[in-house]
Amino acid sequence: MSRNVVIIGAGISGLTAAYWLHKAGTDVTVLEKNNTAGGTMRTLREEGWLIETGPNSALETTPLFNEMFEGLGILSERLYAEERANTRYILRDGKLQALPMSPGAFLGTSLWSVRGKLRLLKEPFIGRAEKEETIAEFVERRLGREFLDYAINPFVAGVYAGNPEQLSVRAAFPKLYALEEKYGGLIKGMIKGAKERKQRAEKAKDRARMFSFLKGMETFPLAIATRLGDRLRFGCEVLSVSRDDGFKITLRDNGREYTISTDAVVVATPASVASKVISQLAGHLSSSLDTIYYPPVAEVFLGFRHEQINRSLDGFGFLVPAKEQRSILGTIWSSVLFPGRAPEGHVALTTFVGGSRQPELCDRTDTEIVKMVTTELQLLMNVVGNPVFSKLIRWPKAIPQYNLGYGKIVEELERCEHNNPGLYFCSNFKGGIAVGDCVMSGKKVAEKIISMQSANAVAA
C-alpha cells in the first residue's frame, strides 16, 4: 500500500503534500488540469504592475513555512509586510477608522460606542452555547451586536468573503470556538491559549507576521513545481477515481483519455470537482460535497498615480461592514504592503467585490465593476479621477463556506477516508482556507501516507 501516490490538483494544498512525500522518497505524481501550478495562488506581471490573482499575502501561522522555504531555497525571496501595514481600517459612518491595537487606543476609538465597549466586560461571565451557532449568534451572544457589526462582520468578509449569519463558528473559526469550549470564554482563553501556542511554536492569526515574496505569492507553488519536475503533469484533468487493487484513476491527458493505477490518491481539488471525481466511490459524500457553497468574488486591481490619492496610505487597507451598505467588501493597499507592486510614483489598490454578501454584483460586466469600485474609492479614500491601470480577476467559485452543519461533511470525509484506505482529501474545504491551513493540511496528509508506508514495510 502507498508505494506510489497520485495527487489530483496542484494548488498549494496538493503541492505541499507532494513536497513532503517527494522529500521522504515516495514515488509521487501530481495531475493538474491547467498548465500552471498554484491553483488560486498565481501572480501576473503587466506594464510594471504586480497583480495577485488570489491571496495577496499569507500569515506565518506555522513554522512549516520557514522549513519549506529553506528547503526550496526561496527563504531570501520572502518579504515581510511593511510595519505600517499593521494598521487596519474599518469603515464606520462612511469614514475609515483605525482598528485599535492597544488598550489605550481601544478606549479612545470611536469605532464602537461607549455602550458597545462596556458590553465586552460581560464576556467572561457568559456561559457556553447549547447548540451549534453561526458566527453571528456566537459573537452577538458573547460580545454584543455592535462588535459583531463593526469588527467581526467585516473581518469575516475579509477572510471568507463570507456571511457571519451563515458560517458555523465551530467549523469556520475552530480556534475561536475552542476558546469557549476549552476555557469557558474568549478573554480567559486568549490568555491561556497564548501559553499553549508558544509551546507548540505556533502563532495566533492576529500575532502572525504577514508575508509575500519579491516576485509575488506564486514564488512558493512555482518553487515546489520546479522541485517536482516531471512528477507534476500539466493538462491532466482527472475524471474519476474508482477502486481497483488500489485505485484506478481515469484522466484526460491533453485530450487523450486513459486510466492509470495507483496505491494511494490524494484529492486536492475544489469540492465540486472532488464530488464528481469520487462519485463512484462514495455516492453520499459526493452529493454532500456538491452542496458546499463557493460564492463568486471579483478581485479588482486598480493602479493610480500617487497624487490621485488624497489621503495618507498608512496601513494595510480597509474592510467594509455590511451595515455600511457599500458595494465593495474591502480594499488592500497592495503597494503599501510590499515593494515592487506598482511602477515608480504609482499606487496599487486591490478591492474585493461580491462574496456571500453581494454575489449578484459579480454578474456585472468588467467595465461596470471597475467603474463601481472606482466610485467607491473616490468616496471612501478621496481618490481623484480614474485608474491609470486596471485588471479584473473573476473567481466564479472563490472560497468554500463552512456553513452551519459543515461538521457533518467533515465527518463524512473522514468516514470515507477510513472506509477507503489509501484515499485522502487535502484541500481548502477541509482543515481551513488560509494558505497556512492548506500547508498544515498538506503536511498532515503526507505524514499519514508516510506512516502507512512504514507500517506496511514492517508488515511485509
Ligand X SMILES: Cc1cc2nc3c(=O)[nH]c(=O)nc-3n(C[C@H](O)[C@H](O)[C@H](O)COP(=O)(O)OP(=O)(O)OC[C@H]3O[C@@H](n4cnc5c(N)ncnc54)[C@H](O)[C@@H]3O)c2cc1C
DSSP structural state of residue 163: -
Interacting residue with ligand X among 373, 438, 445, 446 (CB under 6 A): 438
Size of site (CB under 6 A) for ligand X? 36
Q: Which residue type does 278 have?
A: I
What is the greatest pairwise CA distance in the chain?
A: 72
Contact characters 197-236, ligand X, x per CB under 6 A: ----------------------------------------
The three cell numbers locating residue 396: 466564479
**Phi then psi dihedrals of residue 82, to 5 deg:** -55, 145
Query: Would you say 434 or 452 has its CB closer to ligand X?
Result: 434
Residue 18 found at the interface with ligand X (CB under 6 A): no
Among 64, 98, 434, 452, binds ligand X (CB under 6 A): 434
Q: How far is the CB of 261 from ligand X (least distance, A)?
A: 17
Binding to ligand X (CB under 6 A) within 96-155 occurs at none
In the bound state with ligand X, the residue whose beta carbon lies nearer, of 41 and 446, is 41
Instruction: Taking each helix axis as running N to C, give the angle between helix 174-183 and helix 135-143, from 0 to 180 degrees, rounded to the nearest 10.
Output: 50
The burial of 312, by beta-carbon neighbours within 10 Å (0-12 exposed, 13-18 middle, 19 or more buried), is given as exposed
Phi, psi at residue 200, to the nearest 5°?
-90, 5
Are 453 and 1 within 8 A, CB to CB? Answer: yes
Q: Which stretch, 37-45, 184-192, 366-374, 381-389, contacts ligand X (CB under 6 A)?
A: 37-45
x/- map, 413-432, ligand X, by CB under 6 A: --------------xx----
The amino acid present at 250, given as its one-letter code, is T
Pull the grid cell for residue 81: 509586510
Burial of 328 (0-12, 13-18, 19+ CB in 10 A): buried
When binding is defined by CB under 6 A, the residue of 40, 62, 134, 334 that contacts ligand X is 40
DSSP label of 242: E
Q: Quick one: which of 139, 399, 404, 439 contacts ligand X (CB under 6 A)? A: 399
For residue 232, which of 432, 34, 25 has the smallest C-alpha distance? 34
Sole binder of ligand X in the list 18, 39, 79, 219 (CB under 6 A): 39
Per CB under 6 A, the list member of 2, 26, 43, 56 interacting with ligand X is 56
Q: Which stretch binds ligand X (CB under 6 A): 3-11, 168-176, 321-329, 366-374?
A: 3-11
Residues that bind ligand X (CB under 6 A): 8-14, 31-34, 39-41, 54-58, 237-238, 268-270, 273, 297, 299, 395, 398-399, 427-428, 433-435, 438
